[in-house]
Structure 1
């Protein structure tokens, strides 16, 4: 079994293993740590011994023992209580049938875990990071890359978030009707970040982590089924489907990046694009338009273009302006500048990009420099474009992106 195979199993089972432990103990921090210990044990044993017939039951047994060991080290009282729980858990979970019975309704487990991690006692950043860790199974390094902070900083944030959950006494229960809208907002943001990390990996030697991207889509499908009338959840699902539909055309057989304008569009999954477009059309008329609906509408315009030159860049620019008015961010500003450059010419795009280049926190964002290089190349300033491409290549930790940007610089 390869490490990639193991990781795929872990991502699928992590929320269910954590849910099983939380049914026996409300100590979120200890339970999550125990789950991580069980994953380390699996990483050591599964490649040699093979995947167990019931990987979830295996992980729960190991995690339960780790939790017991932790509780025993705390107090004698915890020792007695958890020892009794441990014996019961071990007796139940040693058989596959018992484990299946104890973990009925996987979807409900995952949804409740998503909502628990979106607890109102946590800051927005803590809610997102904890969910990416406990439900999506991302490493501290992957989460740190999504937020452009050092790995050590992110590890501290995750630890503080788990401690906060423990201190608040939060339980593994559904939120109140009043809490639900805010909790859903955080869950959507978490799933969005998870998908982005899978669709364009922030580091490593491959561009796409398909398993992670599909996991994000699967969780969003679950959320959509739970709240079918929530238009922003529909928009998020549509955005993921339309975007992921381009996966087969994004890289060559050797793993090199193929930019959107050069992709073989016959490789796009038209069924996914059609379903995503339908979701957009159904959600847009419902009440206030949100950022995910607008992003999905932009993706749909790209998906509908049979050729790159058929892309309706004027409408895309208008949608990005709307998005920038309701949900401004450096990423939106970057994409708006590119759209302006495609609509009104590279000089206009460079003017739109210049405010980002003046922001200190964006100086090391390789995508800003890559966009500038692209616009400079279109404007005919080959020397400046070459320098910008090389700078962008140095700043990214993604090997496929490095190859692509260096290739552009050389060309």
Structure 2
């Protein structure tokens, strides 16, 4: 009984009746077309003419299903009334021919089944109730519309009539339940996402993950470097607080400069959260570049020897910004793992092949402790280089030096040289 008259069955029945209501304008146009071939005939009383009008109505409904708004409206109705789980049906207007054709198929199926079930819903219940009242109402029997003239001479007709009426109502409910199940079963394939829709969703998800990864790299490199530098300088100042006030004053000045610069970088990174993807990945995206390298090297907390070949100031902004972050992360690693003798040798070369970066720092005499959750910096360097079509490597050398190298093309893959 639940399958025939439960809540889901009733909602699907309502959905079919809505389909029948949507069919009516097309059916009326169909009757006009059929009537033009039979002047003076009563089209509504001829079953053959009604079936012909129904056949004319379905192609017109299919054309309507090609309109963009049909899919979101149909999906909302199917989701609410057919019991379709969330996420199975596509949202938004169809953007491909395949999606529009599928929507037209769904709309045609909906109005076709809805028209049949709506017609049965209007015609069968009054007839079934009349049959059930036939043995109990003289007025119904005398009307001769539900029973043959000799019904009174055959009592078994009167005995069977109530059961026949109940059977008709049960058959109507079964037909409605079956038609609703057909619609619910076809909804995922006709209103669900096409391969193009799934690809678009995957691309949007990938773009969102790329934004998150970029923000994570920016925060890791700027804030992580600043905290490493400030921690080292504060620790050194604490150790000589009483014996070397001049060094303490210099360390505090360096801490102040580092924090001021980092606050500005943090504001720029957080500002990216309020921008769309085109701005976030554009060449004018905020963030320091190689023109701010002198300030970074002066306040990084360790001695750095720097040599440049070519013209780093002419490097495209996007490449210059990533190169700055790679240098910053390399210095952070030298700070964290270099111990008391931490220093770095930095060389940047710019030529027609691209930008080359090499940073050497001495390996500590004792292996540094591994921080829980650490190890993302070198992976971030490799990701930055790969996004520009370049490469980065790092590792220890036999001469006791940790070397970081990166090669970045001056133009992104597929971008024409200007």
TM-score by length of 1: 0.21
Q: As a proportion of its length, which structure holds more strand? A: 2
Q: As a proportion of its length, which structure holds more helix? A: 1
